[in-house]
Amino acid sequence: MIENKEENLEKTESEKDIEAKPRDRSKLSDICADIKVSQIMSKETTVIRDTEPIENIIELMAKTPYHSYPVLNSDEELVGVVDQDNLLEFLFFERSHRKHHTHLMAIKALSEEASTLMVHQPVTLSPDANLCDAADIMIKYHIDRLCVSKDKKLLGVVSKSDLIKKIHGFWGK
């Protein structure tokens, strides 16, 4: 009995020890809730103009490691996002199954520039959103990169890897 008690005591103490570490889920959530996405977003991000020809977008995607790119219009407003899926659907439209031959897809297949290829009005985050908000959307809806914008102006981009890098930073401390 005494031994057991001691074991229990030891467990309780080790649990306390774990709670004190930043690895603890609730602690991590608390820390993330206090950090705004504007603090970790990449401000200097690669963007595409809405008039950008598709050839240039292919070249850009071949040279850079990102999966999606914000699209800006001439007023510097965020108007859409082009991702690898959009481009592959465009390139392989002729091979796609009949069920994908909808009117909208046919129009996209005739695209010559980003404005017709892109997904209009993407999901964005406000700069005041915290890391938990960003993680929630990324996990729930399988989105790799989110644009951070205010009044239609792009402020930066935050990705899953930005979040992971930040969390890794806590562990290092």
Partner 1 sequence: MEVLFQILVILFLAKILSEVCERSGLPGIIGEIGAGFIFVLALKPDDIETFTFFAELGAIFLLFTAGYKEVHIKDLKAASTKALIPTISQIVVAFGFGFILGKVFGFSFIESLFMAVAFSPTSISVVVKTLIDTDYLSSKPGSMMLTSAIFDDIIGIFLLSIVVSFATLNQFPSGLHILGILGQILVFIVIIAIMGWKLFPRLFEYVQKMHTKESLFSFVILIALFSAYFSEQFGLHAVIGAFFAGILISDIPLAKIESVQKKVSGIAYGFFTPLFFAFIGLSVDIEVLYSTGIFAILVIVLALSGKLIGGFIGTKLVGFSSMDSLIFGIGMMPRAGVELVVIAIGKELGIISNEVFSAIVLMVVVSIVITPILLEISIRYKERAVAVSE
Q: Which of 16, 25, 63, 98 binds partner 1 (CB under 8 A)?
A: 98
Q: What is the CA radius of gyration of the chain?
A: 22
- Give min distance, CB of 149 to partner 1, in A: 11
User: How many other CB atoms are found less than 10 A from the CB of residue 93?
Assistant: 16
- Give min distance, CB of 162 to partner 1, in A: 20
- Give min distance, CB of 35 to partner 1, in A: 18
Q: Is 103 in the site for partner 1 (CB under 8 A)?
A: yes
Listed residue (55, 65, 39) closest to 134, CA to CA = 39
Strands 124-125 and 145-150: parallel
Q: Is 63 in the site for partner 1 (CB under 8 A)?
A: no
Q: Which of 38, 45, 68, 124 binds partner 1 (CB under 8 A)?
A: 124
Q: Is 107 in the site for partner 1 (CB under 8 A)?
A: yes
3-state secondary structure 48-115: EECCCEHHHHHHHHHHCCCCEEEEECCCCEEEEEEEHHHHHHHHCHHHCCHHHCCHHHHHHHCCCEHH
| Of residues 35 and 137, the one with the C-beta less far from partner 1 | 137
Footprint of partner 1 on this chain (CB under 8 A)? 93-94, 98-99, 101-107, 109-110, 119-124, 136-137, 140-143
